[in-house]
Amino acid sequence: MSVSGLIIYRITHFMEKRRVVVTGLGVLSPVGSNVEDFWKALLAGKSGVGPITKFDASLFDARIAAELKGYDAEANFGIKDARKISAFIQYGVVASREALINANLKISDTDPHRVGVVVGSGIGSIGSAEEEYQKFIEKGPGRISPFFIPKMIINEAAGQISMDCGAKGPATCSITACATGTTCIGDAYRMIQYGEIDVALAGGTEASISILGIGGFCSLKALSTRNDAPEQASRPFDKERNGFIMGEGAGVVVLESLEHAKKRGANILAEVVGFGQTSDAYHSTAPEDSGDGAARAMVQAVKWGGHELSAVDYINAHGTSTSLNDKIETKAIKTAFGDHARKVAISSTKSMTGHLLGAAGAVEFAACVLAIRDQVIPPTINYTTPDPECDLDYVPNVARKAKVEFAISNSLGFGGHNATIAVKKFKE
């Protein structure tokens, strides 16, 4: 499309808020290296947490994490590229490939200039920084890799995905710590709504199980130290919770305008109907006590498409398994939903996957879409001791068959970032 044509297109479509649908999912997670394995594991209540194997963690208070199992970089990228491209970028590319296959979409079959990529990361390649600094200490500056900077910077995930699939629309990212995946999907949703693009690959990716990644969160006293029982360590909303579990992986979804999806005969999985984002303006790491920011994000997301809060059947909670998050998110849900808070089903899939940081929101959005597809809600596992401050329905321990026509996914990030995405069953 020419520049003049694009300008005319935007003028004629700007006021027209288009419907946006989900047509593809890609997931690389500690409980499954593809969408269906991931979903089966969640419904079975399978934990992906175990002892850290990526480095010697014996000196750390927390020695457990939710690592990917059986990931083969060379099989996905070849020997040369596997060395040049850092893990978090690789994970994003792999998830994007699956999402496109899942959507039965080849970028070459549509206008590549109308396809965007909005994929971010919370931390990027902290492991590359560790490796290159060690080279500097041992061998001097001449041994720092020329690939170091492109391996480390967060925007390279979107860049590499666009190169891999041929998408020539905007390739960008929003970085909002643990809300990154949700924010990126929300941004892509709005870009399609207002006619900037027709298709987007959107989500988040993370690979921060490293010395500094684990060490930094240990210093914050944020990680669970239940090292003797790793599969029981992530226990959102449970009274005995004592910190989150670091996870790794990626989630990428294909979003399309309804018009574009119908024109190519796509299988529509669900419809995105709202996005809310707010700031606590309070603290660099702690959520604000009242939960007001998270509550406002939920209300914004539901109201965006003109829906009532009582329409929500399921909330995939941020649910990190930390003392502050879980009780304040519970408070926020009560503030946002009032009496309906006690009727809506809530679960934290982080009880199984661990916390994928910048990828968490995208993986959890995928869980919401799958819950709508199959009319079943994944559980919050390891829920054994009720907490008086967390007294809602967290779908404890066992998946539940239920009517799920409208779901929201919450993500809350360091810096006071709150983001909620709303998705519902597609109807003509």
The conformational region for residue 182 under phi > 0 = left, psi -120 to 50 = alpha, else beta, is: alpha
Token look-up 């669900």 returns 270
Alpha helices, H only, 228-321: 258-263, 292-304
Q: Is 340 a catalytic residue?
A: no
> From CA 301, how far away is CA 185, in angstroms rounded?
13
- The single residue of 318, 368, 390, 417 carrying the catalytic annotation is 318
Max Cα distance, the chain (Å): 64
Measuring CA to CA, how many Å separate 346 from each of 1, 124, 247? Answer: 45, 30, 21
Contact 191, 116 (CB under 8 A): yes
What is the distance between the alpha carbons of residues 82 and 85, in angstroms, rounded to a whole number?
Answer: 6
The kind and range of the H/E element at 342 are none
Burial 164-185 (b: 16+ CB within 10 A, else e): bbebebbbbbbbbbbbbbbbbb
Among candidate residues 218, 355, 368, 417, the one labeled active-site is 355
Strand intervals (E) in 217-302 = 249-257, 270-279
Coil, helix or strand at residue 285? coil
SS3 call for 282? coil
Q: Are 220 and 285 in contact (CB under 8 A)?
A: yes
> Rounded to an integer, what distance in angstroms lies between the CA atom of residue 184 and that of residue 117?
9
CA 227, 229, 234, 239 torsion-angle sign: negative
Active site residue 318: yes
Residue pair 328/291 in contact (Cβ under 8 Å)? The answer is yes
Q: Which of 178, 184, 368, 390 is catalytic?
A: 178
Catalytic residue set: 178, 318, 355
